[in-house]
Amino acid sequence: MGLRDLLLWLFAGRSLPRRSDSGTADFDLGGDVARRTSTKGEAELAAEIETAFPYEAVKVAGDKSEAERARLTMIPGQCAAHLGDRDNFLSVASIFCPPPQGIDGPRSATEILAASAKVDLAAFRKAPIAFDADELVEVMNEVSGDWPVEVEAIVGPLSVTSPLTNEPHPLTHIGVFPTDDETEVPALLRWGAWNDCPAPEVHVAHLRAWRDAYGAKLVSVTRDTIELKVERRPASREEALKLAHEQFAYCPDIVLQGTQSIEALAASLMQSDWWFFWWD
């Protein structure tokens, strides 16, 4: 399996909703409200989620979606991002439904953006969510290797493509957000803070740092993935390795379940304008 095939496979996710033995619609949704179990049927629950989503969601054929996203982003005062096929969109949008009784709702976008200004990225990269300091040293030794002879460059966006056929989805969703600063999108979506996925403010802080350094732009947010497109690639192996270490701390699975080594990730960053991140 090639790297692109692996990344496409990761986009398959889990089908939403799934039927439990009791016949209820069982949604595995991620985010601040990790699970929602409802006696409502699939269509009713999906309609509830779509109604609760506070932003415009444009439906478009997968083969036309990237051109449409780019067009929407060019309109002053707004930006746009792919939200994937129907299942991915419902998962992302579900955070805006009223949470189950006894569970607090997500923080506001204003609170998340304020918190993003206080994120210490240097400290985060020394002690990422997935590992303590000792584990990080051990894991870094395990994923260090030689510079690869061949590199498979990623071409995106993968979120508009079926992992089963490698063909564009018949229908995808594009979220349109009331800001021309795409780094705010994780805050607007309240996206993150499950398992080893960083909190929304950490996503915002990384997006701003990589925007300033590489012209990185947020292109896609699905149930458990983020895609960026960059204007500038790292110019040297040394720079690429430094960036690869930053990305590994942010999202270890792109190495542990993807490139298998920091060097392979670094090499791909010198060959591609597309960055992909995935959290289980």
In contact, 158 and 277? CB cutoff 8 Å: no
More confident site: 1 or 2: 2
Where do the domains of the chain lie?
Answer: 3-278
Q: pLDDT tens, 81-120?
A: 999 999 999 999 999 988 777 777 889 999 999 999 999 9
pLDDT for 234: 97
- In the block, residue with structure tokens 């206080």: 118
Nearest to 226 by CA among 17, 58, 30: 30
More confident site: 52 or 132: 52
Q: For the residues 145-150, what does the mean pLDDT come to?
A: 84
Q: pLDDT tens, 40-69?
A: 678 888 889 999 999 999 999 999 999 999
The pTM assigned to this predicted structure is 0.84
Q: For the residues 121-134, what does the mean pLDDT come to?
A: 80
Six token digits for residue 168: 């564009």
- In the block, residue with structure tokens 């699939």: 42
Six token digits for residue 7: 């990344």
